[in-house]
Amino acid sequence: ALESRGVEAPSDTVRAATLAAFETPVQRRPGAAAAVEAAAERGPVAVLSNCSIPGLAERALSQAGLADRFDAVVTSVGCGWRKPHANAFQAVADALDAPPETLVHIGDDPEADGGITAVGGRAVLLTETPLQAVPAALDDA
């Protein structure tokens, strides 16, 4: 991943950074489980992460106690695209076997997560909507 961006780093540095990422403790934000449950009541639920380390997103979900609550986990390393590119959101639609315009993407980065609009979906941005208010925001979707 670094090489593709013209960054040269010694392999031992890359290995150490990767191991550190797997050793970093994960904390679930208050309201996260309720938001995921509310989404699941409305249809299939996926994670779209710009993670570039294979298995890291799944590990974080497991440590947060949320791994079994998702129908799909799509990562940039897995699909080859990063948010906000439309192809990343299309990969989620494909994984859920859902039309992309039916997707509601919840995220905390207006630029990256707002990319959902490129495929006709809707963004619920945590910069504007507190996590605890996500269930109500989904009702407005």
Which pair of tokens denotes residue 81?
Answer: 């695209």
Taking the CB of residue 72, how many other CB atoms lie within 10 A of it? 17
Q: Which domain holds residue 132?
A: 3-139
Q: What is the CATH number of the domain that holds 29?
A: 3.40.50.1000
Contact indicator for 48, 92 with CB cutoff of 8 Å: yes
pTM across the whole model: 0.82
> What pLDDT is recorded for position 38?
95
Q: Give Dmax over CA atoms of the chain in angstroms.
A: 49
45 exposure class (CB count in 10 Å sphere: 0-12, 13-18, 19+)? buried
The values of phi and psi at residue 128, to 5°, are: -115, -30
> What pLDDT is recorded for position 7?
59
| pLDDT tens track for 88-123 | 999 999 999 999 999 999 999 999 999 999 999 999
- DSSP code of residue 14: H
Tally the domains of the chain: 1
Using only the alpha carbons of the chain, give its radius of gyration.
16
> What pLDDT is recorded for position 27?
84
67 exposure class (CB count in 10 Å sphere: 0-12, 13-18, 19+)? middle
Q: If DSSP codes are grouped into helix, strand and coil, which group holds residue 109?
A: coil
